Amino acid sequence: MKKPILEVEHVQKIYESHGYGLPVLNDISLTIFQGDFVAIMGPSGSGKTTLLNMISSIDRPTRGAIRLDGKDIVRLNEKELSKLRKDRIGFVFQDYSLLDSMSLLDNIVLPLTLNGAKASLALKKGKRLAAQFGLSGHLDKFPYQLSGGQKQRGATCRALIMEPAVLFADEPTGALDSRSSHDLLDCFSKINEENDTTIVMVTHDAFAASYAREVYVLKDGRIELHLHKGDSQKEFFNRILDAQAAMGKDLR
């Protein structure tokens, strides 16, 4: 039986502004297990990005507990959080954030290099990851020579090079065309299935969400709906679309 990797208990987030409290997350509880692929959806202002920021240690909740590998990250100091992010958390953002002055391979292995790994080990590991993402023929290229999809797959390889406990992805297909989105999501599914990589992805796109095994739909800072995939991606996609229609608006 798989163990819980991320446990969120009664998390609340209130932003203070001009003496007033603005609640953004209201009593969120969920458990993510090792090897899960989870998508978080919701209308604009629903709290989905705030939730991602909480569980990935970028921000702290007002109340509640968030345990990664059994350790409550809310109670960690900045030095401990910095180490946690380096060792146990991977991030993929919409804008790639690759360094233009470095080749794709050097970008991928940069976290290992900064951590003092031997160059031979870093390069071997980077090439192996790149092969999983269909990038073996592009490793000597610089970011300006790559397509958006290639850059995002490279950014994902860089996020995975330290073997994080959880890969967090914030709208990873938001800047990609449909073909590139499909390629990236296929790679996400591959590493989830073959490497048992735990993925938590915020997305507004029902097609992207249908690649996940679990979908949480937020509304007004609460979990409105929890969908489990089952055996068919097509059927899951249709259920996500039905959920969108039932909420009366696109989940953007």
> Checking DSSP bridges between strand 89-92 and strand 166-170, what pairing results, if any?
parallel
Which residues neighbour 218 within 8 Å (Cβ) at sequence distance 6 or greater?
40, 41, 42, 46, 47, 48, 51, 224
Tokens found for residue 152: 């995002």
- Is residue 109 a contact partner of residue 159, using CB atoms and an 8 Å limit? no
Band of residue 247 on the pLDDT scale cut at 50, 70, 90:
confident
pLDDT per residue over 7-21, tens digit each? 999 999 999 877 788
Residue 49: its pLDDT value, please? 93
d(CA 42, CA 62): 21
pLDDT at 252 over 60: no
Can you identify the CATH homologous superfamily of domain 4-247? P-loop containing nucleotide triphosphate hydrolases (3.40.50.300)
- Among 199, 225, 223, residue whose Cα is nearest residue 213: 199
- Among 193, 205, 1, 165, residue whose Cα is nearest residue 84: 165
- Give, rounded to a whole angstrom, the gap between the first and last alpha carbons of the chain: 35
Q: Which residue has the tokens 């994902």?
A: 156
pLDDT per residue over 22-68, tens digit each? 899 999 999 999 999 999 999 888 999 999 999 999 999 999 999 99
This prediction has a pTM of 0.93
At how many degrees (to 10) do helices 119-132 and 178-194 cross? 120
pLDDT per residue over 112-143, tens digit each? 999 999 999 999 999 999 999 999 999 999 99
Q: Which residue has the tokens 């390069």?
A: 123
Residue 181: its pLDDT value, please? 96
Band of residue 251 on the pLDDT scale cut at 50, 70, 90:
low
pLDDT at 248 over 80: no
pLDDT at 249 over 60: no
